[in-house]
Amino acid sequence: MSDEHYFSADPSVAFQRAEVEAEVWGHELRLVSGSGVFAQGRLDIGTSVLFRETEPPAGGRILDLGCGYGVIGLACAVAAPDCMVTAVDVNQRAVLLANENAASLGLADRFTASVPDDVDPAATYDEIWSNPPIRIGKAALHELLLTWLPRLAPDGRAVMVVGKNLGADSLQRWLGEQGFPTQRIASAKGFRVLETRRG
C-alpha cells in the first residue's frame, strides 16, 4: 500500500473510479470518486456532519477549498442555483473528477475546479466551504487558510468542519488570533462545524 496521501499533487496509485451517492440538503447527488482522492467511494463522516448541521448558501461566489471529487461545491451549486462555485485542490485527479462530476450534473457553467495556481489571485468569495486537509500538518494548514481566508468579501464567511481530535478547538482559537473571528455553530460525531468571519 502506498504511503501517498490524497494531498499529493499527482498520486501514483492506479486510478480507479468509484461511484458515490449522497443526499445533501434534500437533493440526490450521483458522483464519481477515485483512488488517490480523499474519501474514495463514500461521503466521509466530517462532510456528512457539515451538510447535516448547516443550511446551504443563498447564492453568490462560493469557494470549495480542498474540493476532492467536488461534493461540497457541487452540493452548493445544486442547492443554490444563483451561486458560482470555484473549487480548488492540489490533487490533479480530484480536479479532474470534480469537473467531470460538474459536467454530469449539468453544472459546468457554474462550477469550475482547478489547482490553486490557476485561480485568479484577485478573485474574492462570499463564502468558503471546506472540510480542510488537516492531515497536511499544522504549518501547512495555517498557510493554506491564511492564503484563502483573506479572499473573503468584507461580509463573507467560511464554514469548515474539523475533527475535535484533530484540533478543531485550537484551530478556532488560532483563527481568532489571526483576525478571523470564529465560532462553533455545531458539534456532532466528534466533529466541530466552525463559522469564520472576515475580521
Provide the mean pLDDT of the chain. 90
pLDDT (tens digit, 9 = 90+) per residue, 75-118? 999 999 999 999 999 988 999 999 999 999 999 999 999 999 99
pLDDT for position 154: 94
pTM: 0.90
In the predicted model, is pLDDT for residue 11 greater than 80? Answer: no
- CA 113 to chain CA centroid, Å, is 11
**Residues 144, 72 contacting (CB under 8 angstroms):** no
pLDDT (tens digit, 9 = 90+) per residue, 12-62? 556 678 888 999 999 999 998 886 666 666 688 999 999 999 999 999 999
Cell of 118: 490557476
Q: Give the fold, CATH level 3, of 17-197.
A: Rossmann fold (3.40.50)
pLDDT for position 13: 58
Nearest to 133 by CA among 74, 91, 195: 91
